[in-house]
Amino acid sequence: MSDLSILACYAHPDDEQGISGTLRLCLDSGIRAGLLCATRGEVGEIADPSLATPETLGEVREKELRQAAQIIGISDLYFLDYRDSGMDGTPENKDPRAFVNADEHEAVGRIVQVIRDFKPTVIVTFDATGGYGHPDHLAIHRWTAQAFTAAGDPSCYPEAGPAFAPRRLFWSSFPRSVRKMMVEYFKEHNIHSVFSNLSPEKYGLPDEMITNRVNVKPYLSLKRRALGAHRTQLNPNGPFTKIPPEKWDEWRSVESFAFGMGEPLPPDADPGDLFAGLR
């Protein structure tokens, strides 16, 4: 193992699937990989009523995430123990335990604690659009960015242990051209999903902001297996089952990132290397 490490900070079990290939590629290169999940996705879908009830969903999804992490090869898994806030405009937004209602200082402190424990070189979280605007995605984006800075400052959260400064923060994202292509594909094939109504101009990042594209083609079958662990979220009649596997693989063979904060990428950096210049 090298001294390098990557920590993915997300809101729900299955958010990590967008970068599962990159996480495995890191592990295969001797880079430690950890995963932080703010909630247990308590108000997500229940694809099959035999799998969970609204009361047990959080517990079931924790198990699903543990299984997905095991498939990817991640053993360092951290929960922040907040509650899923639900989609924007739903009654769950008002639950006092919801991640979006967390005290900001406390929420950032919990992320700082994980950063100081795990000591990541690189951190990855959602971009400022949260992929599709989920309130928890926006919250984890904002608070991870604050924790990235606070973790290295000994005057912040002294109770969370000695300061540790991670070196680079990335936003995991979709280039807008890819979003556009997906929305057009959905339209053409009459596939209805929450994603088909999202304006590709509003979500993901403009292509020129994407700094890194990681080729994860060798990991497509691993990605499929890891996603398969999130059984409660895989509605057999859902929109994604209508996408032919080869199309799905095409979309999932590259994972895109935008440089966010910290040490800039060297000008000649390999776009597939999140650690360029940090070795």
Residues contacting 58, CB < 8 A, separation 6+: 39, 40, 41, 42, 83, 84
How would you class 134 by CB atoms within 10 Å of its CB: exposed for 0-12, middle for 13-18, buried for 19 or more? buried
Min CB(128)–Zn ion separation in Å: 15
Cβ pair 7, 167 in contact under 8 A: no
> Cβ–Cβ contacts within 10 Å for residue 145, how many?
20
* Biggest distance spanned by C-alpha atoms of the chain: 55
Beta strand ranges found along the chain (DSSP E): 5-10, 32-39, 76-82, 122-126, 168-173, 212-215, 254-262
Q: Among 15, 84, 127, 255, which residue sits at the site for Zn ion (rule: CB under 5 A)?
A: 15
The only residue of 4, 5, 7, 12 in contact with Zn ion, by rule CB under 5 A: 12
Nearest distance from C-beta of residue 182 to Zn ion, angstroms: 17
Count of residues touching Zn ion (by CB under 5 A): 3
**What is the 3-state composition of the chain as percent helix, strand, coil, each rounded to the nearest 5?**
45, 20, 40
Q: How far is the CB of 174 from Zn ion (least distance, A)?
A: 14
Per CB under 5 A, contacts with Zn ion among 199-218 are none
Amino acid identity of residue 195, one-letter, is F
Task: Supply the minimum distance, in Å, between the C-beta of residue 215 and Zn ion.
Answer: 24
In angstroms, the CA 38 to CA 143 distance is: 11
**Interface region with Zn ion, contact rule CB under 5 A, candidates 11-19, 102-110, 190-198, 218-226:** 11-19
Stretch that binds Zn ion, among 5-13, 57-65, 90-98, 175-183 (CB under 5 A): 5-13
Q: How far is the CB of 49 from Zn ion (least distance, A)?
A: 22
Fill in the per-residue mask, 62 to 81: x = in contact with Zn ion (CB under 5 A), - = not in contact: --------------------
Does 230 sit near Zn ion (CB under 5 A)? no
Footprint of Zn ion on 170-189 (CB under 5 A): none
Enumerate binding residues for Zn ion (CB under 5 A). Answer: 11-12, 15
